[in-house]
A and B are shown apart, each in its own frame.
Chain A
Amino acid sequence: MSQAALLDPLVPLAYRVRRTRRELPDIATLELVPVAGEVPAFLPGQFNMLYAFGIGEVAISMSGDPAQRGVFVHTVRDVGAISGAISRLGAGAIIGVRGPYGTAWPTTDAEGSDVLIIAGGLGLAPLRPAIYQVLANRARYGHVAILYGARSPSEILYRAELERWRRQLDVQLAVTVDHADASWRGDVGVVPKLIPRAGFDPTNTIALVCGPEVMMRFTATALLGAGVPAEQIHLSMERDMKCAIGLCGHCQFGPDFVCKDGPVMRYDRIAGFFAVREI
């Protein structure tokens, strides 16, 4: 957490949009640099609170390379007033930033193990920093597999990067889509279906999973079925975060607050809450 945020954690700092990239019609990636001061270090899996002035604040995961200092990278989907305003910001615009907050993907604990990275839709964005970190330290891990599911071929996020990772000889990458016409040459089906082909040692695997909650539940079930112990499955949870520092309770999930006990949470600690309504 930055010094300024420690002093007054609810006051955002001013950042400037350095560059934007339109990933998909409703998804943009923004590079943010501080108007004054330095960018604090962050861990893969953490998030920032981004403030669109006059509209509101929203939690958005880091999607950039943690080794690249001096910039925050966020990939934002237009799903409402705040995220829509942020996703339409252009270079030079000013935005408020608080963070980084939350728990991280266990990329260090996973050293020596096989790593199974499973993303669905926009869930690839919070996993991308972990992918960068694992690939930058590839020799420290066993088998590395990236499994990605998208709605359709035209809605594949970071397509150029996926193609680059696929060309890497020491990484297994598989992409599937839920729907396609006959011109699509790749797989069609849900992302858990890719798990049996991922070629990992289940007892020595750390699984990192991010996507819509239903997709993560199906995926966790498939991982358990493949023999991966629940404590080796990590999910990135999403709830309506407001304060982001464990005070307001908006993001409560069972006994935990997603903002401070998450967003990355171990499946064995949260599995019992998925089926609870109005949690």
Chain B
Amino acid sequence: MEGLERIVLEHPFFAGLEAKLGPVITGCARNHRFDPGQYLFHEGDPADEFYLIRHGSVALEILPPGQPAVVIATEQAGDIVGASWLVAPYRWRFDARARELTRAIGLDARCLRDKCEADNHLGYEMMKRFLPLVVGRLEETRLQLLDVYGKHRA
């Protein structure tokens, strides 16, 4: 198994993936290195890649008008950054900033979407991995919205 394929398959996101799908996914993958403070992407940019974080951490930020950026979540090694590549019009909905030296595998979104269209089994494997991630983030966001530690806590 080549180095990049091994790294992709060892990422927790792809735990349990059939070995035969490894080369298919790795065909859309490339290595990234982000310096502290460097942005992976900005809100509104085309969501043409998503990231498997291997090392470091990434802050997901929203910039309210006239105010400093608000960090809505942080993601670490073993996490995924980016789900907007799955949903038209494929534009990022927030900024992503490396908080420290961060190494990641980028997966080309168009390449992977095309392969998922052509191979529904691969598409289903991707859906099984992304859906719990998206539902989990929805639940986390709901918990944040409840402001449970506020004075009128839930």
Interfacial residues, chain A to chain B (CB-CB below 8 A): 26, 79, 120-122, 149-151, 155, 176, 178-190, 192-193, 197, 211-215, 218
State how many angstroms separate the Cβ of A37 from the closest Cβ of chain B.
36
State how many angstroms separate the Cβ of B143 from the closest Cβ of chain A.
5
State how many angstroms separate the Cβ of A135 from the closest Cβ of chain B.
24
Sample of 19 A–B contacts (CB below 8 Å): A150-B149, A151-B149, A178-B143, A178-B149, A179-B144, A181-B70, A182-B97, A183-B68, A184-B71, A185-B99, A187-B76, A188-B59, A188-B73, A190-B143, A211-B148, A212-B148, A212-B153, A213-B154, A214-B148
Alpha-carbon gap, A218 to B143, bound state (A): 8
Alpha-carbon gap, A82 to B99, bound state (A): 43
Cβ contacts under 8 Å, B35 to chain A: none
State how many angstroms separate the Cβ of A196 from the closest Cβ of chain B.
8
Q: Which of B99, B144, B148 has the most CB of A within 10 A?
A: B148
Interfacial residues, chain B to chain A (CB-CB below 8 A): 57, 59, 61, 68-74, 76, 78, 97, 99, 139-140, 143-144, 146-151, 153-154
* Contact status A179-B140, CB under 8 Å: no
* Contact status B76-A197, CB under 8 Å: yes
* Residue of B68, B70, B151 touching A179 (CB-CB under 8 A): B70
Known: A188-B59, A214-B154, A218-B139. A151 touches B72 (CB 8 A): no
Known: A121-B149, A178-B149. A215 touches B143 (CB 8 A): yes
Q: Which residue of A lies closest to B63 (CB)?
A: A182
Q: Which residue of B lies closest to A150 (CB)?
A: B149
* Contact status A212-B149, CB under 8 Å: yes
Known: A79-B151, A120-B148, A121-B148. A182 touches B143 (CB 8 A): no
Q: Which residue of A lies closest to B60 (CB)?
A: A188
Q: Which of A79, A178, A185 has the most CB of B within 10 A?
A: A178
* Contact status A188-B140, CB under 8 Å: no
The 9 A-B residue pairs with the shortest CB-CB distance in the complex, in nearest-first order: A121-B149, A151-B149, A212-B148, A214-B154, A188-B71, A188-B74, A190-B143, A182-B69, A212-B153
Cβ contacts under 8 Å, A149 to chain B: 149
* Contact status B143-A151, CB under 8 Å: no
Q: Which residue of A lies closest to B77 (CB)?
A: A197
Cβ contacts under 8 Å, A150 to chain B: 149
Alpha-carbon gap, A149 to B147, bound state (A): 12
Cβ contacts under 8 Å, B99 to chain A: 185
Cβ contacts under 8 Å, A178 to chain B: 143-144, 147, 149
State how many angstroms separate the Cβ of B107 from the closest Cβ of chain A.
22
* Residue of A182, A185, A192, A214 touching B146 (CB-CB under 8 A): A214
* Contact status B149-A181, CB under 8 Å: no
State how many angstroms separate the Cβ of A118 from the closest Cβ of chain B.
13
* Contact status B149-A187, CB under 8 Å: no
* Contact status A151-B68, CB under 8 Å: no
Alpha-carbon gap, A190 to B139, bound state (A): 10
Cβ contacts under 8 Å, B69 to chain A: 181-182
State how many angstroms separate the Cβ of B148 from the closest Cβ of chain A.
4
Q: Identify 9 new A-B residue pairs, CB closer than 8 A, beyond the known A179-B144, A185-B99, A192-B140.
A: A121-B153, A182-B61, A182-B68, A182-B69, A182-B97, A188-B59, A197-B78, A211-B148, A212-B153
Cβ contacts under 8 Å, B71 to chain A: 179-182, 184, 188
